Structure 1
């Protein structure tokens, strides 16, 4: 972070092939559009991954925000374009027409999402494990369920199936 004319300027850390943890929020924190329209969100992610591949290591979709861990291709560090495409596709699939300010109009934003997102480059195995646990436990933290396994919009289910298959239990 550095100061520029009295304002803080944030820098995004980019490294080809890195693994990142992201938090992405809706503008209206009382909305439930992400789970109400989960199929459209999944389609937006699927099309974006087809065009610009990345691995989804973990994900949890909450009503008004999501957390995910991605690993980018070894020759690519452009997560911002991927998020822009996912957000745009999801918004368009809803036919979203919300009031926007001049700045949003100039950037062709429709107002559903918060403009920015938060990213963290994963440093090591312990950091990865902490962020994975954060994804899995987020629905419990927010009081939607008492056990993480009861939240339907989580990669925890996929990971449990894979673990069972790997261990010979399924």
Structure 2
């Protein structure tokens, strides 16, 4: 089945990707394996990683694709498959997934949104970096170790206390359910 997706060469996209078991914590338990796979895919199919946060059961990221490339579905397929192959089998696998020789690690689909302008980008980067606080994984955004917020701070693009006093400001639903 093919899904309708906006694909713009050189586009910048926000993604939410979920595990099939939303009670799992394998993304953070196996963060080194996840990082290795993402870096391997980036090497073979380049993209700029603008922002990312990895939570136990889902992740949010923003990618900027090369000017001549719009194939983010390929990249996600390679990341999901590569990460799954690094984990020992043992998860529950539905009959339909078994018939297709799929693992039961990831939800099949993901949420994507093409970034429209600088304000949209800033809003999504903030959403990503504040997400561990929103979900109760950290008291302050800077306390969550699996976030590009630390790089933003190191480069002087954010203050060390960024998000410390922020409240959930009603930013829209970006598909994290």
What's the TM-score bracket when you normalise by the shorter of the two chains?
0.7 to 0.9
- Per the alignment, residue 96 of structure 2 pairs with 103
Q: Deviations over 1:74-107 (max 9, x none)?
A: 0000001100100111111012343433432354
Asked if 2 retains the 8 angstrom alpha-carbon contact of 1:96 and 1:112, the reply is no
Taking the aligned partners of 1:73 and 1:88, their CA distance within structure 2 comes to 22
The whole-number CA distance in structure 1 between the counterparts of 2:43 and 2:81 is 16
TM-score normalised by length of structure 1: 0.87
Distance 1:123 1:27 in 2: 29
What secondary structure is seen at the aligned counterpart in 2 of 1:135?
helix
Unaligned runs of 5+ in 2: 158-177
Contact 1:32 1:63 in 2 (8 A): yes
RMSD: 1.5
Match of 1:49 among 42, 45, 56: 42
- In the TM superposition, 1:10-89 aligns within 5 A as 11-89=4-82
Whether the 8 Å CA contact 1:61–1:67 is kept in 2: the answer is yes
User: With structure 2 as the length reference, what TM-score do the two structures score?
Assistant: 0.84
Report the Cα distance in structure 1 between the residues aligned to 2:151 and 2:140, rounded to whole angstroms: 16
Structure number having the greater helix percentage: 1
Across the two proteins, how many residue pairs are aligned to each other?
156
